[in-house]
Structure 1
Amino acid sequence: MTTQASSLLHWSPQAVVFDCDGTLMDTERHWQDARTRAFQSFGLTTPPGFADRAKGVHYIDCGRLMAEEVQKPELTDVLTKGLLDHFLDLVTDDPATMPGAAEFVRLLSGRLPLAVASNCPLEVVEESLGRAGLRRHFEHIVVPTDATRTPDATPAAAGAKTVRPKPWPDVYATAARLCGAAPETALAIEDSLTGVESARRAGLRVLGVGPRPAEQDAARADLWVTALNDPDLLTWVREHVL
């Protein structure tokens, strides 16, 4: 265990802010399937490696990227709409949590404020967490609110003029503020490098979760674990999280 990791596991945060897709909910595969279906509806093939480039990207930016990579910018709007429509169908039919996520959330619940900071539309986050039985554990859900990007109204972000998507720091900065925590006293939990960048820029400490990326990328998080049921992580919650 690195000194950096050891330091995190001897620290008590004042709030924990979770990403949703790929961190709490097993929805990255749904996004991948939705992108494939959106491409196929126009007779297009998903470009090689596109899943990695799209991970953690706001769906509007993803729709734009989809159109750019197949050199059909005129399809930006319809690909974006198709992407979201297909995703909503898939996530409604199959809401599943990531390994250890439900237990980890329930263990933290009631100990300190919990929030979600996501690039997904509010309806997606609410629906996913609700169907998984986790919604009641979170005091706040923050998603992008810039009217030029998405029409979602986010009550949790009230008072913020604009909440821009990751990798901007806005969703994490807003979530920490709503939890009553200074950024440096809050912990972000993320599976994507886009999200890690967002949380870092907001001033939060970061726990990375999922397949470990290249060492240089993994080092951007304070600690990286394979899943939220990591034994050292659960021990930390029981012994250091008030």
Structure 2
Amino acid sequence: MTNATNATNVAIQALICDCDGVLIDSEAVAASVLVRELEARWPGALVAPVLMPLLGQRIERVLSGTSEALGRRLSEADVAAIRAVAEREAAQAPLFPGVAGALEAITLTKACASNSYTSVVRQVLERTGLTRFFGDRIYCADAVANPKPAPDVYLAAAQGLGVAPQACIVVEDSVTGVTAARAAGMRVLGFVGGAHVGGDAHAHELREVGAQAVFDDMRMLPALVADWMQNAEARAQ
């Protein structure tokens, strides 16, 4: 991991946002679909307590992790079918209140870095009108060697933007995502406003893995980013 102390002395040049659970309130939708589909295949299995902590990883990993923990099996056809349903329903989830206004107010170059598939993220951004903020600056797990919690997606985003990882500030909602961004050497703001987040425990978990601040309302984001920018500039002088 890049030294966090050194990172705080670099001026912020870019804002990188996760998609699911940060731009759209989709994680609870996806979780509901996954639980429903697995319970239909595994009658009597207690799926939710095992599956929920795995959110933020690729759907395939959530399914394989749940299967292994419960001693169950899924065919490749099952995995493909469940993923298709979950992605289709989650992609229709609403924007978080205040997202568009927050992105409008922040003047930094913006990118989206997701553990989902590029085609799915493009669909979400087009449907919600957020493409105007991100353009083609979309970096997804299907285009790198390793998905989050590996740092690959975030390192690819920094490279694509032409900035140092230390010059990026990331907004993430999951332990998996925060871990990935911190491993890339980036500053991280943890967002806990999603319907899938349960109380203060999740905020604590995000801080434990490296989120430097945690917030639950997207309308707070511009002020948080401005504070980081001012503090970084002051330290760099």
Q: Same fold (TM over 0.5)?
A: yes
* 1:178-217 deviation digits (Å, cap 9, x = unpaired): 1111001111110001100000000111011115435364
* 1:105-133 deviation digits (Å, cap 9, x = unpaired): 2222xx22211111111122111121111
Query: Secondary structure at 1:89's aligned position in 2?
Result: helix
**Matching residue of 1:128:** 124
Instruction: Note the C-alpha offset of 1:237.
Output: 4.9
Instruction: Note the C-alpha offset of 1:144.
Output: 1.6
Task: State how 1:19-38 maps to structure 2 within 5 Å.
Answer: 19-38=18-37
Instruction: Note the C-alpha offset of 1:49.
Output: 1.5
**Structure 1 residue 226 and structure 2 residue 216: aligned?**
yes
Percent identical residues: 28
Aligned CA distance change for structure 1 residues 66 and 82 (closer, same or farther; 3 Å) = farther
Query: Secondary structure at 1:229's aligned position in 2?
Result: helix
Aligned mates of 2:189, 2:10 — CA distance in 1 = 12
Q: Which residue identity does 1:215 align to in structure 2?
A: H
* 1:30-56 deviation digits (Å, cap 9, x = unpaired): 211220232134143442423432210
Aligned mates of 1:180, 1:204 — CA distance in 2 = 14
Q: Which residue identity does 2:101 align to in structure 1?
A: E
Instruction: Note the C-alpha offset of 1:222.
Output: 1.3
**Matching residue of 1:104:** 102
Query: Secondary structure at 1:224's aligned position in 2?
Result: strand
* 1:28-87 deviation digits (Å, cap 9, x = unpaired): 0121122023213414344242343221011111121232233223x1423421321211
Instruction: Note the C-alpha offset of 1:102.
Output: 2.1
Question: Does structure 2 conserve the Cα–Cα contact (< 8 Å) formed by 1:95 and 1:131?
Answer: no
**Structure 1 residue 235 and structure 2 residue 223: aligned?**
yes
Question: Does structure 2 conserve the Cα–Cα contact (< 8 Å) formed by 1:63 and 1:79?
Answer: no
Aligned CA distance change for structure 1 residues 68 and 226 (closer, same or farther; 3 Å) = same
Question: Does structure 2 conserve the Cα–Cα contact (< 8 Å) formed by 1:208 and 1:223?
Answer: yes
Aligned mates of 1:11, 1:24 — CA distance in 2 = 26
Aligned CA distance change for structure 1 residues 63 and 78 (closer, same or farther; 3 Å) = farther
Query: Secondary structure at 1:116's aligned position in 2?
Result: strand
Instruction: Note the C-alpha offset of 1:98.
Output: 1.8
Instruction: Note the C-alpha offset of 1:136.
Output: 2.4
Q: Which residue identity does 1:99 align to in structure 2?
A: P
Q: Greater helix share, 1 or 2?
A: 2
Aligned mates of 1:179, 1:41 — CA distance in 2 = 44
Instruction: Note the C-alpha offset of 1:141.
Output: 0.8
**Matching residue of 1:84:** 83
**Structure 1 residue 181 and structure 2 residue 169: aligned?**
no
Query: Secondary structure at 2:38's aligned position in 1?
Result: helix
**Structure 1 residue 143 and structure 2 residue 140: aligned?**
yes
Superposed CA RMSD in Å reads 2.7
Structure possessing the higher relative contact order (Cα contacts under 8 Å, 6 or more residues apart): 2
**Structure 1 residue 114 and structure 2 residue 102: aligned?**
no
Aligned CA distance change for structure 1 residues 202 and 114 (closer, same or farther; 3 Å) = same
**Matching residue of 1:157:** none
Aligned mates of 1:11, 1:51 — CA distance in 2 = 38
Aligned mates of 2:140, 2:22 — CA distance in 1 = 15
Aligned mates of 2:51, 2:98 — CA distance in 1 = 24
Aligned mates of 1:43, 1:198 — CA distance in 2 = 32
What runs of 5+ residues in structure 2 fail to find an aligned partner? Answer: none
